[in-house]
Structure 1
């Protein structure tokens, strides 16, 4: 039982977390004080940045605005990097061009002020720069009614009806937020009705997951089944969205026997579940069931995001123990080395993790909305400010899509899993360092010898592709690495026929010399279209001769079909249960 003092402190921190959306005030203050103290003892630099440079930049902004107003526009305007919304030609006229240039100048000044101060801890510098950028983005002229020419044009055209509609949209969104309902339109994408509709059966259910076996659509199939494992902090049907963009359906139609893990959404009673539990009751339990259904074949295992990290851990443990049930390993947007985790690393330090652990100790898990808030800050312009302007100033609703509805259907992270993942993997990087243990013994990714297929997405802010690419430093197996267009989700849901998609692919043979990310970009083969056919061809190339499909489940081994896909666990959310 908690010490009364600890319980009081955790209650206080939980209340603070509700106000700060899970961000540690102490972490922010430590970063700010480190930066401020080092800047204060450098008066020459401080005078230059705080007093001289603003005047020079203001003059430069005015000159650039006059050039823009006269039709002479810079060939590569820096404002397009600050806020892409400012690239519209409507911003070229007076006085909006001055607003734009002033905003850009302010951003450049913030960079000069917060970055490169000698003596400041690198992590603290990144936190300060990030926080300054968040505040600066609030004052983008694109966010204002009177400073956004597109909003003013729409208001003049509609006689102000757009603002009235915006107020109605705001009131509706506020009501749904307070009632903890999904965004408007998400109700049209209920799993089992509009999404996650690939036919199949749940053939295994335990405390952590349901295992789905999908019905064959071809007369013969490749003998090696495919096991798909998404992250435990997302619903599995990201891999089975609408029929036209379902990776599961795509592989089934190509003659693969596909299984998928649907994770149960944990509650407070699951607070002590950790990574080893998910390996044992998720990956290993699924492999045991698949072996009972397809006894003479090895498995193509595929993991997405944290599911890929979990798969890598499990595959390393299997290789260590001589378990040869895996034929190949596929990792989609999955990190195995966390030394360069990208913007998400801004939220990972000792102070922040301790703050979150106090919060989770009270409720037993990290809420999906708390995680979503952190992810939204990483792309505030796209995920916060642009929707605000569209919904509340322009009075327009973006059409709900299957991917948007899925993204709003979040899950929770158990208390212990938080420590295993954020502390042991992110902060301490134990997996890459060979210090992460499974069943009391450390695992090494270097033990994995089966062929691997890894995918990174070019604009991923959750698992940056250069971080994903570090798999090549940790494994000496045969690796096909794909870099595809899109972000963490859209780059993976990239079905054939999707417009404006391309990828690069390069194979590094087992034990071949390491190829740097820059050399990879230069040498990899560029291909137009979806990367899915490349994955399917690679899987088929590591499969045997096709044969009749296996039966659904194996009743004699206690694996009789329980219910139709997508099962029951996929409908669980907080606090309202989503019903099929």
Structure 2
């Protein structure tokens, strides 16, 4: 069972809280209206499906699943005549749904909404999700029925404790600071908003200019420091860099008024502490996903005030130009739904990351719901033991004020336009960011599509190195050397206006992009100096060992 798509269920540029019942009902209503308005098209489609179903039932036709469709991987689906017919009927229905939708006169947005609703219902009815799944039947026979008892126990536990969603990971197998986030370091600065972690150097000489990582606010920082083999922090340390990471506090209702200015001010303070500790006038700043929005906004905020303390900017899978949101959440992002999302978090004081995670699960049910339904309930297996999945489910909250601002930025695309976003009466202009930037995106990223990352990078005023990794949202970041023999990435020194023209002229490179980024970063990190013996300094003595306290809340 693959987990690549599950670990990519992280909040992207679209800050919508959920799929409203009204929007779903309206989608069904539009489908019914289309069927009534154009009965000949619907009748023809149903007739074709009936004929195809008859051919499948008689064994004269055998629709084959996509090779990437893991639902029907068991050989019984293709070798057993009854299972083959059952699968064929379902695949025929899926094909006919696509054909019917393509022939309707629905507007594009209504067609995509209808596709989501109808496909979700059809996916739920897949024969692979039923107890007669051949893998489940074999499991019952092999275990003497104990798999049924285990599956029922998992199901009842998830109904009680997990909102009736199947668990994606066995959370009991992981401990932050135990077998996750284990790189040696210390919290050297703490405010109400963040903890600043300094990691102990792993080389005798280090680069003079430090590296500061700003993670997304909707997830915890230790995606950059999972296991030693997947730790970007540890890899940078081993290449001779001084590494600092921000660990955001998980806000509660009392922090409802924290806004973009709160996070920018806190990050600027962290930069100043890093500068004090390292005796360096500036830093190399890294932002990922929604943390990239914070990073570019901060860099523009500093530029507007003449503070040249960010020497280079690295952005991973970050979108801050929302000109066109092609994600499914974007399809449901009407003015009404955005206002409802703002009211939702305003009433509660925070946006709970668990709510967003459930919405993302609903958007890709075969990979994020039904895969685990089969594994946990039908097969009676324990949920997977996978560190990235644990991190992905270890969500945080967003304060209502900040969430509301993100919605406004998304709706108005205001960050992409000079002077439309104001922080403490200071207008932000991304074109004023003249520092060098390294921008990385993922080819199969469905949260922050790579061409949107490219378009966003075009808004920056400095020299941009754009790198395209052949992975999804999170797997693009977690791309250590020697970790994936199939890893590749694309590079192109030119910067045409169109992202696909860039790709047409790009060169494909085998391996991880990490070494390329390290080489780029090294040329912007100054000379080598003796590594510090102690962490912190006289004014910023270590408060506690990494990973700190905020990450556990």
Q: Do these two structures clear the TM 0.5 threshold for a shared fold by scoring above it? A: yes
**Aligned counterpart in structure 2 of residue 481 of structure 1, from 466, 471, 476:** 466
Residue number in structure 2 paired with 1:187: 172
Of residues 218, 224, 243, the one that matches 2:228 is: 243
Matched-pair contact (CA < 8 Å) for 2:489–2:511: no
Taking structure 1 as reference, are residues 116 and 284 closer, same or farther at Cα in structure 2, changes over 3 Å only?
Answer: farther
Q: Helix, strand or coil: the match of 2:477?
A: coil
Whole-angstrom distance in 2 between the partners of 1:183 and 1:150: 19
**Which residue in the other structure is 2:105 paired with?**
118
- After the TM superposition, which residues 140-539 of structure 1 pair with which residues of structure 2 at under 5 Å, given as runs? 140-146=126-132, 148-177=133-162, 185-281=170-266, 283-341=267-325, 342-421=327-406, 423-434=407-418, 435-508=420-493, 513-514=496-497, 516-539=498-521
Instruction: Tell me what 1:17 maps to.
Output: none
Query: Contact (CA 8 Å) 2:248, 2:550: kept in 1 or not?
Result: yes
Deviations 1:356-377 (A, max 9, x none): 3333233211112211101111
Distance in 1 between the 2:450 and 2:440 partners?
8
Q: How far 1:67 sits from its partner (Å)?
A: 6.9
Deviation at 1:383, TM superposition (A): 1.2
Spell out, residue by residue over 1:422-451, the C-alpha distance to the aligned partner (whole angstroms, 9 max, x if none). x22222211123322223233222222222
Name whichever of 211-220 and 469-478 sits farther off: 469-478
Secondary structure in structure 2 of the residue aligned to 1:491: helix
User: 1:179/1:94 Cα in 2 relative to 1: closer, same or farther (>3 Å)?
Assistant: closer
Please name the residue that 1:566 is paired with. Answer: 547
- Alignment partner for residue 129 of structure 1, among 99, 103, 115? 115
2:6 is matched with: none
2:3 aligned residue: none
Distance 1:79 1:54 in 2: 23
* Distance change >3 Å, CA 119–CA 176, structure 1 → 2: closer
Check if 1:54 corresponds to 2:85: no
Query: 2:18 and 2:474 mapped to 1: Cα distance?
Result: 24
Alpha carbons 2:323, 2:413 under 8 Å: kept: yes
Distance between the aligned counterparts of 2:342 and 2:502, measured in 1? 39
Following superposition, the deviation at residue 247 of structure 1 comes to 0.6
Q: Distance in 2 between matches of 1:484 and 1:67?
A: 44
Gaps of 5+ in 1: 1-20, 573-580
Whether contact under 8 Å (1:455, 1:482) holds in the other structure is yes
- Aligned twin of 1:139: 125
3-state DSSP of counterpart to 1:413: strand
CA contact (8 A) 1:35 1:114 kept: no
**Structure 2: distance between partners of 1:178 and 1:91:** 31
8 Å Cα contact 2:218/2:398 also seen in 1: yes
Q: Distance in 2 between matches of 1:288 and 1:151?
A: 58
Deviation at 1:347, TM superposition (A): 4.3
Q: Equivalent of 2:526, from 544, 563, 579?
A: 544
The answer to whether the Cα contact below 8 Å between 2:183 and 2:234 also exists between their aligned partners in 1 is yes
Residue number in structure 2 paired with 1:13: none
Higher RCO structure (Cα 8 Å, ≥6 apart): 2
C-alpha separation in 2, matches of 1:553 and 1:403: 28
Report the secondary structure of 2:237's partner residue: helix
RMSD of the TM alignment (CA)?
2.7
Q: Give yes or no for contact 2:30–2:114 (8 Å, CA) kept in 1.
A: no
Q: Distance in 2 between matches of 1:247 and 1:66?
A: 56
Partner-residue secondary structure (3-state), 2:385: coil
* CA gap 1:168/1:449 in 2 versus in 1, 3 angstroms: same
1:85 and 2:109 correspond: no
Q: Distance in 2 between matches of 1:64 and 1:119?
A: 30
Aligned partners of 1:30, 1:365: CA distance in 2, in Å? 28
CA distance in 1, matches of 2:502, 2:428: 28
| Alpha-carbon spacing, 1:501–1:68, altered in 2? closer, same or farther (3 Å) | farther
SS in 2 for 1:28: helix
3-state SS of paired residue (1:470): helix
Q: For residues 39 and 437 of structure 1, what CA distance do their matches in structure 2 show?
A: 48
Q: Deviations over 1:121-161 (max 9, x none)?
A: x4333222211111111011111112x22222333333433
Change (3 A) 1:204 1:398: same
Distance 1:336 1:65, change over 3 A: farther
Structure 1 residues 99, 420: CA separation in 2 closer, same or farther (over 3 Å shift)?
same
Aligned mates of 1:30, 1:431 — CA distance in 2: 31
TM-aligned CA distance change 1:106 to 1:47, over 3 Å: same
1:365-398 CA distance string (max 9 Å, x none)? 1112211101111221111001111111111224
Q: Is the 8 A contact 1:504 1:524 kept in 2?
A: no
Cα 1:78/1:68, change in 2 over 3 Å:
farther
Match of residue 107, structure 1, among 72, 94, 101: 94
CA distance in 1 between counterparts of 2:26 and 2:378 reads 37
Whole-angstrom distance in 1 between the partners of 2:496 and 2:18 = 43
Cα distance, 1:285 vs structure 2: 1.3
Contact 1:224 1:257 in 2 (8 A): yes
8 Å CA contact 1:484–1:501 kept in 2: the answer is: no
